[in-house]
Structure 1
């Protein structure tokens, strides 16, 4: 098992523990990388869902589980390019595949009625997308409290989770929105990692995080300034000046920023 997969498993288990479930007892849902369900140590691989339609449907039902999804909306997400001529019976087949997959999580229930389809998961369920957000928030709180070790640890876990692919090969409005949030989470984690490592004196690692943050969003001025502070802490005045000149050059290419500074 890779280090990232270990992070996924440990983070999901820790989330289940925080919610009152024993480690290995709560339901764990993995939507990044390979779709999967796990409960009581038994793992059901997402390959049991079959084709792309059931995978898209399952992921959407999990992400939007706090509402009932109308059948026509679900069908448009299952077949984003073009609805089949007879989509109603085909969406029933897709839902049947999702129900079959959910047999690996007996406590999960998929309710279907005239209003739509609504997935109900146990309250102790740990979903990797949400664990990622939770770890990022814990990292930011730890940094604000001055616990730089915990901040770096949690930010590293959240960053690794956020970098895992979500429904690779698929796209669409809601999928793009999920990916956009995950990209923003990567940025939040890099911010924490850069600052926490700077305060711990791990300057090479801090600079690496700051550079990654700049690559993610070159027009974010604070990231450039963080890199300058890191070089200054290292006593490398020339590198700090180069970082400053790079910032000036990059920001000068932004027409909106130029207008606001006139």
Structure 2
């Protein structure tokens, strides 16, 4: 660290893990491949920005970070799903749900993964849990796209 005119700066050889995670998240969200350590990236993207701080300026920065990491986690979960890496896809979709439990995309990915594995009961339960959450909290239903995935599974 250097101090120039009473301003602290990091030495060029240092990196900031938040900046690194943002760069990787942007690459993922834009569809780029080649994430070096996917497990570490999921862990990094699961972190809240400056937990315990309640400064007013952080509200917008946290929202930006949350949106970026949601898109990146969803892109990574979809990639895992397309590669048949079911456990990684589920864990990554769960990380996205923990950021925003109302966002449908990670729930849909989890339902699709369960169906791909042949775990029909798990897919239906995941859908029903999400539907209950939406109804209880927001008085809305899941999208038709998600509903179609499980609609015919509960008919006997």
Q: Normalization by structure 2: what TM-score?
A: 0.68
Counterpart check, 1:135 vs 2:24: yes
Where do residues 191-206 of structure 1 align in structure 2 (5 Å cutoff)? 191-206=74-89
Quote how far apart the aligned CAs of 1:239 are.
1.1
**Are positions 1:182 and 2:65 aligned together?**
yes
* 1:233, distance to aligned residue in structure 2 (A): 0.8
Question: How many residue pairs are counted as aligned between the two chains?
Answer: 142
Q: Structure 2: how far apart are the matches of 1:131 and 1:248?
A: 36
SS at match of 1:173: coil
Aligned partners of 2:70 and 2:96 also within 8 Å: yes
Q: Deviations over 1:15-43 (max 9, x none)?
A: xxxxxxxxxxxxxxxxxxxxxx4xxxxxx
Structure 1 stretches of 5 or more lacking a match?
A: 1-36, 38-101, 104-108, 112-117
Q: Are 2:54 and 1:171 equivalent residues in the alignment?
A: yes
* 2:138 is the counterpart of 1:255: yes
Q: Distance in 1 between matches of 2:46 and 2:97?
A: 16
Query: Whose strand proportion is higher, 1 or 2?
Result: 1
Query: What secondary structure sits across from 2:102 in the alignment?
Result: coil
1:60-111 Cα offsets, whole Å, 9 max, x none, are xxxxxxxxxxxxxxxxxxxxxxxxxxxxxxxxxxxxxxxxxx24xxxxx347
CA distance in 2, matches of 1:225, 1:167: 29
Q: Which residue of 2 aligns with 1:11?
A: none
Q: 2: CA distance between counterparts of 1:157 and 1:188?
A: 17
Give the alignment's Cα RMSD to 1 decimal. Answer: 3.3
Once the 2 structures are TM-superposed, how far is the Cα of residue 126 of structure 1 from its aligned partner? 4.6
The equivalent residue for 1:238 is 121
Indicate the larger mover: 164-173 or 209-218.
164-173
The 2-side partners of 1:166 and 1:237 are apart by 36
Deviation at 1:212? 2.4
- Which is greater in Rg? 1
Flag the 1:203–1:248 CA change in 2: closer, same or farther, 3 A.
same
